[in-house]
Homo-oligomer: A and B are copies of this chain.
Amino acid sequence: MTTPDATGDQHHVVIIGCGFGGLFAARALKNEPVRITLVDRTNHHLFQPLLYQVATGILSEGEIAPAIRDIFRNYPSLRVVLGEVEHIDVDARTIHVDEFGQPLDLHYDSLIVAGGAATSYFGHDEFRHAACGMKSLDDAMYLRGQIFGTFELAEAEEDDEARRRLMTFVVVGGGPTGVEMAGQLKELSRRALRRNYRRINPLDTRVVLVEGQDGLLASMGRRLSRLTERDLTRMGVEIHLDAMVTNLDDEGAVITQKDGTTTRIPAATKIWAAGTRASGLGSLLAGAELDKAGRVVVEPDCSLPGHPEVFVVGDLMGLSDLPGVAEVAMQSGAHAAHTIVRRLKGEPPKPFRYRDLGTLAVISRFRAVAKIGPLQVGGFIGWLLWLVVHVTFLTGFKNRFGALTRWAISFVGRGRYERALTGRWVAGTGRTTKSA
């Protein structure tokens, strides 16, 4: 056991997690008189809203997942630890990390817990084996192999019924992730795969989108919801509203409507974009109260009751039912950092106020819906807004420039770069493509 950070004169801030919450907390502390240790279980920040573009072959994994160490190369007093947090002792102000099998104890003066969220199968954990989530880079890489792999299997398939199953994609969840995934699967089959096959017609690809509520993108209001449904329907996406997925297995999905009618849809690929649950990190905070979604109940300034030096931000934060979006994580992460700085200066904390900067979802090439304050727009104007926002928030110049290049090639042109099936594909189909 080593405690290399138990000494040192400067105020020591430990940040757990380098999603949007942790990233914005660390950035807000750049020029402050503090030492920072950033702990993450992966070596990269992940721009989660673009995971669907990696899964459908538009962007490469590196373009949405810059290395954490590289983001913070000009932060000399920030150290990155790659490890798994195993225990948090809020009384001793110490976190215990498993760093490649070795225990590492980090003593902190202030702690920011930004654990994020994981996929929730709503109590149906057995669905996990049949439907891939959309939370991590591994999820996206698995789906990429699955999507391009099933088209290969379909081209080789003699049986009509089996081929239809291979070319059917069921997307569960009509929020932004599900809508964007369904739209891109249709774009893929309508444009990028055109003239690629000799026996199947990619236009026969069936995309089924299932949503439990009575509208898609419910948080964006009725008008944009209807606009999204109209656009997706015109593209050929089958939308099931007021419907639940009541079974998922290797063969396909069973959809149950509100009125009790059930439909069995044979489908090789099922994508779970329905639910998230707070990260398990909340349960490591001894004595912390969790709400029914597993989020840590915090004070108005994002701190843990009784522990003003511990902050919980982002998807793990239970505060006045804020939505689980990147913007909340960014703002609450920065707020926690500012509160630490205020305390160091002897100033009182301020309550966190979320400024809703709007919501966006891409429907197809050149079409998106956007709700920004009172402004509700769809179509090409919505898409331009989407482009500006995503280019602005992508981390780092080279990622922005690279993503813009890819988008020009994928949206203006018709090609997709990332279609290579590698050893990963094994997981999806039992077949390896590794050359000997």
Contacts and interface: CB of A to CB of B under 8 A. Distances in A.
Nearest to A158: B2
Contacts of A141: 422-423
Contacts of A63: 60, 417
A226 interface: no
Interface residue SS majority, chain A: loop
A421 interface: yes
B422 A137 contact: yes
A153 B62 contact: no
Contact of A423 (B138, B152, B197): B138
Contact of A418 (B2, B62, B196, B279): B62
A57 interface: yes
A417 B62 contact: yes
A67 to B, nearest CB: 4
A99 interface: yes
Contact of A62 (B73, B280, B420): B420
Contacts of A137: 420, 422
A3 interface: no
B118 A148 contact: no
Interface stretch (A40-48, A250-258, A318-326, A381-389): A40-48
A436 B118 contact: yes
B69 A196 contact: yes
Given A62-B417, A398-B409, 16 more contacts: A41-B433, A44-B419, A60-B61, A60-B62, A67-B420, A70-B196, A73-B194, A74-B195, A82-B152, A100-B153, A100-B431, A101-B431, A138-B422, A138-B423, A398-B415, A398-B417
